[in-house]
Amino acid sequence: MTKPRLSKAVFWTTIAFLFLPLVVLMVFSFNEGRTMVWKGFSFRWYESLFLHQPRLWAAVSNTLIVAFTSSILATVIGTLGAIAIHWYRFKAKAYVQAMSFLPLILPEIIIGVSLLIFFRMIGMPLSLWTIVIAHTSFTMPFVLLMVTARLGEFDNSIIEAARDLGARESQTLFRVILPIAVPGIFAGFLTAFTLSLEDFVVTFFVTGSGSDTLPIFIYNQIKRKLPPEINAFSVVLIGVTVFLLFFARRSIKYFVQRK
Amino acid sequence: MSGNTDSRVGTTYSLPLTLWISLFFVVPMAIVFLYSFLTRDVGGGVRWEFNLDAYAAIFKQTSSGQFIYLDILWYTLWMAVAATVLTILVALPCAYYIARTKNNTLLLFLVIIPFWVNFMIRIYAWVAILGQSGILNEGLMALGLIKEPVQFLFNDYAVLLVLVYTNLPFAILPLFTTIEKFDFGLLEAARDLGATHMGSLRKVMLPNIQGGIITAVLFTFIPIFGTFAVPDVMGDSNTYMLGQLITSKLKMTGDYPGASSLSVLILILTAGGLILYTAFQRKQEKDKMVTIAEDAL
């Protein structure tokens, strides 16, 4: 068997390319100077990040409010929808399946444009709420997809068994269906949450004044001159993400082992 | 196995989803479709006069015979093709290498980790590298290679670089999943029969992983039609991509019918891509059936 030497070289070059921006941010977050010229090691931007950047923290808080609210909404509605699609008959099934698949493939800008025009038409002022609605709309299909994939591993017999044993509909839902769907629900929630944190395009259209999320805040700053605190902030963000993912993996393992 | 039971319960469970999707996806899309046939009004509104003006505007020419929108569309298409080709060319060997490595979880993680950092921060990092007072210019000047800072930003190459950067994982992952399923024994067989290494990759592996390549192409190609932030931050302010055009119509000039007709255009292009995709998959299945039938004979 030939050793994939060329592909190995391409792979590690690509990894270097992918990590380059992160390394640059990390190194220059400790720079004494304001610019990309190394002036000596310092924590001054970390200090100033926590003391002198209230608008950045306001954007962080907006981002978290939107991400939590929209991903919880998307998870609840998406999970119920997935259960209905997988196990039950209902009238609009084909319509719901088709229409909830579309947002997965359409360029995001279409969702942003259509919701902005819609909100303007019904006279709804742009605020955090319009962002929550928009995020719920484009993340819900992902929850639906992931919960459906999980439910696909089980057939009808477990519901029938629950019924035969005299379970009421609510008991079937809470004691049988939801527990087996947990891994899918969890994956769906995490996906919805990350997509919401990340989103720029859709948010850009439906954000109002004072409701800027983090990507919007950074975008507005890039257009002028970014404060050096952004480097330090990126490093904090990477740290928090790595910690949370580690934590998420642990809890997923916990859920899986308990079963 | 699905769909036996009480449809009342099913309706209850599906009701929130049905309502949400209808109100916040189907209705807004219908409004966009409707608006694309209306007349633009002053002050960012619309007048209820039906016509095809917003679509005709796509083909409008300047007095010097230049197509404004078609040029933007053409430019977007060109950038999308270039970015997709570059992305696939890099992603293919990467996915191949990951698939051929035994403990590949770590390698997959390495591909995904950079994407835990916010999309906007990643774009900003490239500005910090390529900008006039960026690290590249400072480094080159410190080495005495250049005297004056060079403008690496605000051109097509900067846009392509960041488009490839942001799209790579979305191409590597689907390619990896198909290549992983590929039977590498077939490559050895081809080589035993006298094929060169590259020849066996091209003639034996490539046809077998076409599905993954097409998925990767779709994941890269379609989003570029709506992309806005990357060309806006990295690109020349004199050249617009389709996403920027729609944004300026909506946010600056208040031309709702114009933004709507362009959105419908993107919708049609996306639908076209998907139809080609499913047609291709059908053809592949048919080909497979034919091969099986021939083998049986």
Label residue B185 exposed, middle or buried (CB < 10 Å: 0-12, 13-18, 19+): exposed
Chain B contact for A178 (CB, 8 A cutoff): no
A182-191, B155-164, B288-297, range with greatest mean pLDDT: B155-164
Bridge pairing between strands B45-47 and B39-41: antiparallel
Query: HSE-up of A172 (CA within 13 Å, CB side)?
Result: 19
Q: In a 3-state reduction of DSSP, which class is residue B6?
A: coil
For the domain made up of B66-296, the CATH class stated in words is mainly alpha
Tokens of A229: 């605190």
Model confidence at B277: pLDDT above 80:
no
- State which amino acid sits at residue A175: R
Cα separation of A74 and A138, whole Å?
9
Pick from A89, A106, A137: which is nearest to B7 by CB? A89
Residues forming a β-bridge with B67: B61
Looking at chain B, which residue has its C-alpha nearest residue A111? B25
pLDDT of residue B188: 82
- Give the mutation candidate from B15, B27, B29, B168 for the A interface (greatest A CB count, under 10 A): B29
Model confidence at B3: pLDDT above 60:
no
Pick from A1, A77, A200: which is nearest to B119 by CB? A200
What does the domain layout of chain A look like in residue ranges?
Answer: 55-226
Label residue B283 exposed, middle or buried (CB < 10 Å: 0-12, 13-18, 19+): exposed
Q: Which fold has domain A55-226?
A: MetI-like fold (1.10.3720)
State pLDDT tens for residues A161-179: 888 888 888 888 888 888 8
State pLDDT tens for residues B99-112: 888 888 888 888 88
Label residue A225 exposed, middle or buried (CB < 10 Å: 0-12, 13-18, 19+): exposed
Calculate mean pLDDT across residues B5-27: 88
Q: Do B118 and A20 touch (CB under 8 A)?
A: no
